[in-house]
Structure 1
């Protein structure tokens, strides 16, 4: 009789539930990870509400995962090791992958093309895991490593010598970026329509928005957000777009050229992203732990995906 685990199931009709499913089988070079914490990303909510990106049904989504290896077919990743999972699944054979796997045209993600982390266990290639070297770092903080890796990669688009940055949108990505920029001694202002999130930004040292800034991080992605950033940045400044929206940009080429603004886009993270993020988390675990505003159980997840409650920060599914 096959062993079962509890996992989220997202069905083709976009009904979500939690049920017993067969424990994942291991292939050569795979490890079995017992999930300790799984973060809810905006992409998880979008997939649950639209079916976007899903390649199999019913799907177990979830791509921000931290846990403990409980079975291994790879000597380099032993049983008992605490790990963060790298959810990128690029081909690693094309010319774009040679630049960065995050640019792979065939890139898929854990949970979209194979079962992900909204389950008690998952099986992944050992090469897709990163050890949590700091034994004192809790799993529900270490799980921030992937979104923080996205931030670390995006902030590489901000030039050296930048002194002032405006963050548009203070969800988890905006808040994580704030902590990283604050650690670099950069003055940060925030534009956020939610009063609670704006208050959090101020509590973490954000200054009032106003006047031209050297760079802007668009983590909001609302219609017109890039234009708003273009108008708020100084001449010759930089706008980094990390939020994903399907609206067109309404900036004329003439205005863009005459103002001398660089618009930089950033998607995903590079191979060194998660290790870099884990180092940052270990340096200031309490500050980053504050980004997690809500911890829920797996059985509460379907409701949070289908009709997400507004939260001040990151929602993490905690496993016993």
Structure 2
């Protein structure tokens, strides 16, 4: 395959509606795989970036870092995959490969910066284009195998939403005997509930209202509280070993930190566009940790997919045609999806 143009949906400029277009894909190199994309999840971060919410983007922008598909071609040096294999691509497609974090399999923390799947530049300085397209070419070392037990459509969101929750839950040792709260029951939060419950933790959902309580309990939560009820923070003071916040709006951190036990951790995986404030006594008083976590490396992403297949965990999705992407963005912003939009790329 030489450089070719593939069909895609792109934002031509910041805040502009996405529209059908074509973008270039590089030739299949020595260690590359060409992936026929079957499904691409819509992540809230796609919206942030397409609308310059996290800083100036590279346009035209083809979002999408929740990619599930089938290998259509392999380079002559490829050893990990063969044509026909089911594979996924997450939030990055390259890294320096030499720093301590890359060598550790924590490429997401690459000292020189990982190459994002979209809205980034590769080592040749060319822009990267994401999964809202029919095909993508990636180095075999930055693709992961999707186990046969997972349908590709419900597996796609695991490449961001799944690993974004699995990584901190594993790192902070969610499991039997641990009380874990997930803040927000959306695209990220619903996977947090499923994974934390499968790990054996006692799971509580903290959501603005009780509107999704029935869903939360079905997904694996043991308890569900509304944060718009002021008594919630009084009732749950000092309850949790770990709280993972998936929301992308600023929270009253002091109130949430009061819910932790001594040595508890509050971990942010949602990324608000605005700064947040904090009274440091909220962490000093209970030797508490305020932390963040960013996706996961390639080995951990594979571990997460295998774990989800073993436990029968996939995302709760609404499958859409590509022509519905702009509508889906608005619905994500109004929390009108249960719980992840996935694009059928055959409609591109």
Moved more, 185-194 or 57-66: 185-194
Q: TM (normalized to structure 2)?
A: 0.81
Give the 5 Å matches for 1:118-197.
118-134=132-148, 136-146=149-159, 147-159=161-173, 162-193=177-208, 195-197=210-212
Alpha-carbon separation, structure 1, partners of 2:53 and 2:201: 39
Moved more, 35-44 or 146-155: 146-155
Residue aligning to 1:57: 59
Residue aligning to 1:6: 7
Q: Contact 2:243–2:266 (CA<8 Å) still a contact in 1?
A: yes
Alpha-carbon separation, structure 1, partners of 2:216 and 2:328: 24
Deviation per CA, 1:48-70, whole angstroms, max 9, x where unpaired?
Answer: 22264676421211111000111
Moved more, 275-284 or 86-95: 86-95
Deviation, structure 1 residue 272: 1.7
Alpha-carbon separation, structure 1, partners of 2:84 and 2:67: 16
Residue aligning to 2:341: 315
Deviation, structure 1 residue 250: 1.4
Alpha-carbon separation, structure 1, partners of 2:179 and 2:214: 19
Matched position secondary structure for 2:249: coil
Q: Contact 1:6–1:19 (CA<8 Å) still a contact in 2?
A: yes
Alpha-carbon separation, structure 2, partners of 1:54 and 1:91: 23
Alpha-carbon separation, structure 1, partners of 2:43 and 2:168: 17
Pair 51,139 (structure 1): closer, same or farther in 2 beyond 3 Å? same
Give the 5 Å matches for 1:196-207.
196-206=211-221, 207=223
Moved more, 107-116 or 188-197: 188-197
Q: Contact 1:169–1:220 (CA<8 Å) still a contact in 2?
A: yes
Q: Contact 1:218–1:225 (CA<8 Å) still a contact in 2?
A: no
Residue aligning to 1:93: 98
Give the 5 Å matches for 1:267-286.
267-285=294-312
- Which structure 1 residue ranges, 5 or more long, are not aligned? none
Alpha-carbon separation, structure 2, partners of 1:91 and 1:13: 29
Alpha-carbon separation, structure 2, partners of 1:34 and 1:185: 36
- Which structure 2 residue ranges, 5 or more long, are not aligned? 121-127, 226-234
Give RMSD over aligned pairs. 2.6
Name which of 41, 55, 77 aligns with 2:43: 41
Pair 189,306 (structure 1): closer, same or farther in 2 beyond 3 Å? closer
Q: TM (normalized to structure 1)?
A: 0.87
Alpha-carbon separation, structure 1, partners of 2:157 and 2:98: 29
Deviation, structure 1 residue 225: 4.2
For the pair 1:296 / 2:299, whether they are aligned, the reply is no
Alpha-carbon separation, structure 2, partners of 1:244 and 1:299: 27
In the alignment of these two chains, the number of paired residues is: 315
Residue aligning to 2:261: 234
Alpha-carbon separation, structure 2, partners of 1:22 and 1:143: 21
